[in-house]
């Protein structure tokens, strides 16, 4: 080495033994297959995701049962993740607002590397245990629920956030694609979805990511149902932010009540665009003022308001 040469920094290397990092024998020689055969292999592997989620429904239910009372008591749900896992957490949190009219502070998504990591990979962000710890210490409060998202189950950023959250007396959940994850013993609820090796070794944006998306969809939707933001199978807290959603509100009222479209429009106008109030008014026959009062007396629950008006 000459005097003007400076040795480059030696960067840490970690070999992960999670199932997501193992080779899938069914996709060996993927690069030699015809396009149609390659797609068939990918599709067959993808079928494993919903089956694997079905095996952890009890664990997902336990996570829901943590989140519902927490939100009712004024606490929050946090997602901490990196890469694909973190982006899926952001997506889930963002979509709850227009779908269920959730308060913006209810679901908070934290992505290793910050907002920019949503669009471009941020080098080494997921390896920073201290950053996860610091972010959790900054925003997690006692009584919150913190969901760690990590395909391998060992991402330092996520584990740092979970450890700090636990120390702050928050409930903790780890969602990963590694049923063997050591961190399982350190959380209140462990959801280890056994999706197995990926078609392209280590590419957890594939079926591991698909399974995480399915779990998050099921988790957050079940939480919203339990909080009364769904009536039957209709989303009654939808925010009408565009013409399509305004039309959906009318459709929901027609479906829920059996009333004509014109009568539903009139009820919605009388309720100043409040879908729940219009629904309770139409189903119960009460005027808008009584319908609104019944909702206020039943924690904004449609079925509770209808029961009050029926007495």
Active-site residue, 95 included? yes
| H or E segment to which residue 81 belongs | strand 77-81
Neighbour tally for 125: CB within 10 Å: 21
Facing residues of 110 across strands?
80
Active-site residue, 126 included? yes
Q: How far is CA 295 from CA 109, 283, 306, in A?
A: 30, 13, 8
Q: Helices (DSSP H) in 101-196: which residue ranges?
A: 129-139, 156-167
**Considering 59, 126, 135, 198, which one is annotated as catalytic?**
126
The C-alpha torsion from 80 through 84 and 89 to 94, rounded to 10°, is: 130
Q: How far apart are CA 124 and CA 135, in angstroms?
A: 16
**Considering 9, 21, 59, 95, which one is annotated as catalytic?**
95
- Distance separating the N- and C-terminal Cα atoms of the chain: 89
Catalytic residue annotation: 95, 126
């Amino acid at each position: 080495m000459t005097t003007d040469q400076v040795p480059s920094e030696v960067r840490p290397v970690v070999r992960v033994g999670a199932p997501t990092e193992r080779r899938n024998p069914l996709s060996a020689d993927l690069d030699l297959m015809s396009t149609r055969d390659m797609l068939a292999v990918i599709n067959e592997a993808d079928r494993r995701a919903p089956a694997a989620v079905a095996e952890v429904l009890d664990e997902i239910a336990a996570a829901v049962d943590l989140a519902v009372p927490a939100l009712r008591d004024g606490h929050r749900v946090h997602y901490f993740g990196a890469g694909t896992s973190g982006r899926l957490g952001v997506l889930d949190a963002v979509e709850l607002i227009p779908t269920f009219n959730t308060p913006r502070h209810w679901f908070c998504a934290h992505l290793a590397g910050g907002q920019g990591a949503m669009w471009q990979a941020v080098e080494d962000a997921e390896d920073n245990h201290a950053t996860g710890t610091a972010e959790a210490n900054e925003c997690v409060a006692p009584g919150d629920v913190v969901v760690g998202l990590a395909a391998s189950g060992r991402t330092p950023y996520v584990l740092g956030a979970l450890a700090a959250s636990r120390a702050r007396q928050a409930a903790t959940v780890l969602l990963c694609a590694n049923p063997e994850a050591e961190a399982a013993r350190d959380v209140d609820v462990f959801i280890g979805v056994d999706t197995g090796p990926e078609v392209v070794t280590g590419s957890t944006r594939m079926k591991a990511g698909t399974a995480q998306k399915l779990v998050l969809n099921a988790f957050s939707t079940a939480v919203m149902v339990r909080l009364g933001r769904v009536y039957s199978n209709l989303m009654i807290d939808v925010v009408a932010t565009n013409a399509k959603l305004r039309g959906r509100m009318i459709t929901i009222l027609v479906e829920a009540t059996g009333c004509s479209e014109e009568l539903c429009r009139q009820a919605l106008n009388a309720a100043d665009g409040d879908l729940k109030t219009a629904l309770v008014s139409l189903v119960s026959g009460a005027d808008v003022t009584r319908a609104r009062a019944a909702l206020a007396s039943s924690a904004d629950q449609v079925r509770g308001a209808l029961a009050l008006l029926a007495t």
